[in-house]
Amino acid sequence: MEKLSNPQVTIEIIKKYNFAFQKKFGQNFLIDGHVINKIISAAEITKEDCVLEIGPGIGTMTQYLAEAAGHVCAVEIDKNLLPVLDETLAEYNNVTVINNDILKTDINEIVDKYNNGMPIKVVANLPYYITTPIIMGLFESHVPLLSVTVMVQKEVADRMQTGPGSKDYGALSLAVQYYAKPYIVANVPPNCFIPRPNVGSAVIRLTRYEEPPVIVQDEKLMFKLIRASFNQRRKTLQNGLANSSELSFSKEDIAEALEKMDLSPTVRGESLSLAEFATLSDILSGR
């Protein structure tokens, strides 16, 4: 069949199945083959790869992935899309469609079953309403993976890539950058989708580090410190951490730690780098 990246083919399939787009599932389907090729080449997909696609929709990118990869597992929540995918992916014998919520899917089980536990690549045009839980879930559950190459809201891509001092810098930047090296591949305008989203989009590749870029004694404590300092953005780091219900350090403990690090007592969380949060965490965990 002619590819779904041809908008006419997508429109015909949608009509044929009388498919109703569900806003609650973040359904914006790609209709641009150039964008899909960019995603696949940024992800460096080869026949050696097992790819996990999150939310195949009607199978537009899945068609390209099936041609480039060894195997594709596509997890789709909307059961109304299953008969559509049966037709649009009929000519590929290396695609497994799994009807499930990705946030409730045991991805480690998929990796074991379809790639003998070897690292996979994740490629997706993500449903934007759950971008952060999907990405953090992939990293925090320690799924063996090489990279995550995904379409996200432009603003979220910026947040993942940016460093201290920028208004976009926050807990997501630090969490992503602890696990992976981010690289924005392309900006994608709304007219590359049906229906058009009301925000700009970007493709970002997150290449998983084999070893984290900073060594920290207590990873959990570091992330608690990060969350607490960005929860109260307008406060000084000292007040933000001392007031956090997740932590039990006094203002004096924090003042002492900041002094050891040669940081001003009025420093704000958004000016600390990942390495500085790791140092702060190591000093405080020794208390």
Interface positions with ligand SAM (CB under 6 A): 25-30, 54-57, 60-61, 75-78, 101-103, 125, 127, 130
Residue entry with tokens 């009929």: 90
Output 77 or 171, the one with its CB closest to ligand SAM.
77
At its nearest, how many Å lie between ligand SAM and the CB of residue 29? 3
At its nearest, how many Å lie between ligand SAM and the CB of residue 35? 9
Judged on CB neighbours under 10 Å (0-12, 13-18, 19+), 116 is exposed
Output 177 or 201, the one with its CB closest to ligand SAM.
201
Instruction: State residue 123 phi and psi, 5-degree precision.
Output: -135, 135
At its nearest, how many Å lie between ligand SAM and the CB of residue 122? 12
DSSP string of 109-156, one letter each residue: HHHHHHHTT--EEEEEE--GGGHHHHHHHHHHTT--EEEEEEEEEHHH
Q: 39 and 123 in contact (C-beta within 8 Å)?
A: yes
At its nearest, how many Å lie between ligand SAM and the CB of residue 60? 4
At its nearest, how many Å lie between ligand SAM and the CB of residue 104? 8
Output 28 or 236, the one with its CB closest to ligand SAM.
28
Position with the least CB separation from ligand SAM: 55
Output 97 or 222, the one with its CB closest to ligand SAM.
97
Phi/psi-derived region of residue 130, left when phi > 0, alpha when psi is between -120 and 50, beta in every other case: alpha
Q: 213 and 178 in contact (C-beta within 8 Å)?
A: yes
Output 78 or 158, the one with its CB closest to ligand SAM.
78
